[in-house]
Each structure stands twice: as C-alpha cells, then as structure tokens.
Amino acid sequence: MNKNMRVTTKARHAYTQAYANYLRSGNLEEATRQVAQEIYEHRGNRPGTQEGDWEEAARITAEWPETITEASESHLFDKALAKTRAWLKDVETELDYTNPNDAYRALRAVLHAIRDRLPVQECAEFAAQMPVLIAGMYYSGWTPADKPEKLRTEMEFFGKVGAALPPGADPERITRGVIAVLLKHISKGEMMDVKRNFPERLRYLWETEGTH
C-alpha cells in the first residue's frame, strides 16, 4: 500500500459514520458533504474556507468507491438479511405463527395497506427506517399516483389488508400484531407521524400492545 493510500485509508476510519452511510446508500456526493461538514466543525479557530473543506473532503472520499468490494457487499447483504429475519421472527412470535412465510404475508399485507394510506413524502420517510429487503417488499407494486388512498373506515382498511391474506385470516388481529412489531422497530416519532396520517377512527391501532 503506498503512502497516499495509507493516508486516505486512515482518513476513512476517521469519518466512520460518513463511510457507513456511503456503504448503505452508495451516494458519494452526500458522503463527501458529510465529511466536509465534519472538517468544518472540527477546524476550530484554524483558518479555512468552505471551498477548501469541500476539496479536502473530496480527497478523503476519492478512494471510497474502490473499497466496496464483493466481500463488503456480501457482508452488507448478510446484515440486511439478518435484520429481515429478526422482523419476521417478531411477527411470528406476535401472531403465534410457526413459519416465516406466514409472517411475511402478514407483514406485507399490513405494510401495503399502511403505505397506500400515506402521502408520498411520509411513505418514503417510513420506508427509510426499514431493513432494505423489507423496504423493497414495501415498495413492490407501489405507484405515487392517487396517493394517499381514502381508507376512512375500519371496514375499508381491514378489507384492504384482508384482500392480501389467505382465506379465513383475521385482518384486524393481524394488523394489530404487525403494528406491535413496527412499534418495536420503528422510531416513536416516525410511528406518530404515520398515525397522524390516518383518520381519527383508525388511530387506536397505533396504541396496540400486541395480540397477546
């Protein structure tokens, strides 16, 4: 490893959070902006300019695309898969299921019904807190046109959930169970934002303590 590579590798470790965000998003410009902000914040009384901070940040992040190797991509996938399994296991436990396939169908049915009731911006903010594989499922088949859907009553909302479930499933019980899991994994503030986008008569669902 040459001297310049050692310097930029050291710099990468100095900006761990920005690098981690880059690994997740692949957005090098945003990562460079984060590094530039950190350089500015830690410069103190030393002289410098915004342009100089950006140039230094760009130098630091220039090697980062080369560090996303097949091994690191595989590690990120394994991590995303582990998070997805944890969510599904929680749904299994909450709904007394015995396999992840039933948990997946339940989670998908409820997430799609919630998704279609949200404005586009809130829909995206909600998805941002999901594991990437669940977010992919969440967005499957979604279009921004005519959103949010006007699901005003329990009958309309549970009808939408039930349409995606096997015959005989109880959409209210499943909705309560899945929301209990979401309350465990999604921040309280975001869940409150989602709740506010639902009619008053449906907001009680976000006060659920689960199905047990």
Q: Is 96 part of any domain?
A: yes
- Distance between CA atoms of residues 210 and 95, nearest Å: 9
Q: Which of 26, 49, 68 is the last residue of a domain?
A: 68
User: Which pLDDT value is given to residue 6?
Assistant: 41
| Domain range enclosing 183 | 72-207
pLDDT for the residue 97: 95
Is 146 inside a domain boundary? yes
Same domain, 136 and 182: yes
Point out the domain boundary residue: 53, 68, 83: 68
Q: To 10 degrees, the CA torsion angle through 190, 196, 202, 207?
A: 50
Q: Of 63 and 189, which is predicted with more confidence?
A: 189
Is pLDDT above 90 for 161? yes
Residue 198 pLDDT > 90? yes
> Model confidence at 74, in pLDDT bands (50, 70, 90)?
low
Structure tokens that stand for 94 in this block: 């909450």
CATH code of 184's domain: 1.10.490.110
Pairwise pLDDT comparison (143 vs 44), residue with the higher score: 143
Q: How far is 11 from 39, CA to CA, in rounded Å?
A: 11
Give the least confident one: 22-31, 107-116, 123-132.
22-31
212 within domain boundaries: no
DSSP-based helix, strand, coil % in the chain, nearest 5: 75, 0, 25
Which tens digits make up the pLDDT trace of 77-112? 667 788 999 999 999 999 999 999 999 999 999 999
- Tokens 């944890």 belong to 86
My answer on whether 64 and 78 are in the same domain is: no
Same domain? 87 vs 28: no
Angle, vertex CA 125, rays to CA 29 and CA 184, nearest 5: 120
Please tell me the pTM assigned to this model.
0.65
Give the pLDDT of residue 76: 64
156 domain-assigned: yes
- Report whether the peptide linkage leading into residue 148 is cis, meaning its omega lies within 30 degrees of zero: yes
Q: Average of pLDDT values for 28-54?
A: 83
**130 token code pair:** 């999901």
Phi and psi based region of residue 46 (left: phi greater than 0; alpha: psi -120 to 50; beta: remaining) = beta
What share of the chain in percent tops pLDDT 90?
Answer: 44
Higher pLDDT among residues 206 and 101, named by residue: 101
104 and 46 housed in the same domain: no
How do residues 124-156 score in pLDDT, each as one tens digit? 999 989 988 899 899 988 888 888 998 889 999
Residue 16: inside a domain = yes
| Residue 2: half-sphere exposure toward Cβ, Cα within 13 Å | 2
3-state secondary structure of 46: coil
pLDDT tens-digit series, residues 59-72: 888 877 776 655 56
Contact between 57 and 74 (Cβ < 8 Å): no
Based on the fold, state whether residues 13 and 36 are members of the same structural domain.
yes
**CB neighbour class for 78 (10 Å; exposed up to 12, middle 13-18, buried from 19):** exposed
Is 30 domain-assigned?
yes
Number of domains into which the chain is organized = 2
At 146, the amino acid letter reads D
Which residues touch 121 (CB under 8 Å, ≥6 apart)? Answer: none
Kindly tell me if the per-residue pLDDT of 189 is higher than 90.
Answer: yes
Q: How far is CA 155 from CA 87, 119, 161, in A?
A: 27, 21, 10
Tell which of 68, 84, 117 closes a domain: 68
pLDDT at 72: 60
> What's the distance, Cα to Cα, between the start and end of the chain in Å?
58
Residues 174 and 91 in one domain: yes
Same domain, 116 and 138: yes
